[in-house]
A = this chain, B = another copy of it.
Amino acid sequence: MAEDQYPQLHLDNQLCFSVYTLSRLITQAYQPMLQALGLTYPQYLVMLVLWQALEKGRPATQGALPVTVKFLCEQLQLDTGTVTPLLKRMESNGLLVRRRSAKDERVVEVDLTDSGKTLREQAKHIPADILCQTGVDVEQGKALRDELKGLIRQLAAPGS
């Protein structure tokens, strides 16, 4: 029987397997740092969105725009089946609060607690530490990130 009848099925040849493995290894690399803050990696991603929203207060208004569950799902490209329980765990850990919007009772708004806001200072060193561990320099990292974003755009396209 001939060897290598199906080279396209070999693990080492597969781009997809490399992405899958790298993704898991990255999560594992974050784990010790995030554990010190009481966060998991997906929870950290939620915090990134919420922290970023703190900076987006419109001038001459009372403060930040409300972040909704829908907005979080869009930003993270996760569905409510993942995000709702994630937010519940984070709420019970005292990082944020959830409440129904007064204007539209369907909408749930998410707000950082003071404790959640404070955590940002302790998190700001993390991206540099990770970059250091992976050994990529800043420019190479940007180029790679943009290449991956291109693939994401392809796969997320409605007509895929």
> A residues near B, CB below 8 A?
1, 3-6, 8-11, 13-30, 41, 45, 48-49, 51-52, 55-57, 75-77, 120, 123-124, 127-128, 130-131, 133-136, 141-142, 144-145, 147-149, 151-152, 154-156, 160
Contact = CB atoms under 8 A, between A and B. Distances in A.
Contacts of A5: 55
A151 B142 CA distance: 14
B11 A75 contact: yes
Q: Is the interface of A mostly helix, strand, loop or mixed?
A: helix
Given A11-B45, A11-B48, A29-B155, A18 B149 contact: yes
A33 to B, nearest CB: 12
Given A16-B30, A26-B155, A124 B55 contact: no
A18 B152 contact: yes
A77 to B, nearest CB: 6
A155 B15 CA distance: 17
A128 B123 CA distance: 41
A152 B25 contact: yes
Contact of A133 (B10, B52, B75, B154): B154
A9 B151 contact: no
A51 B9 contact: yes
A18 B56 CA distance: 23
A143 to B, nearest CB: 10
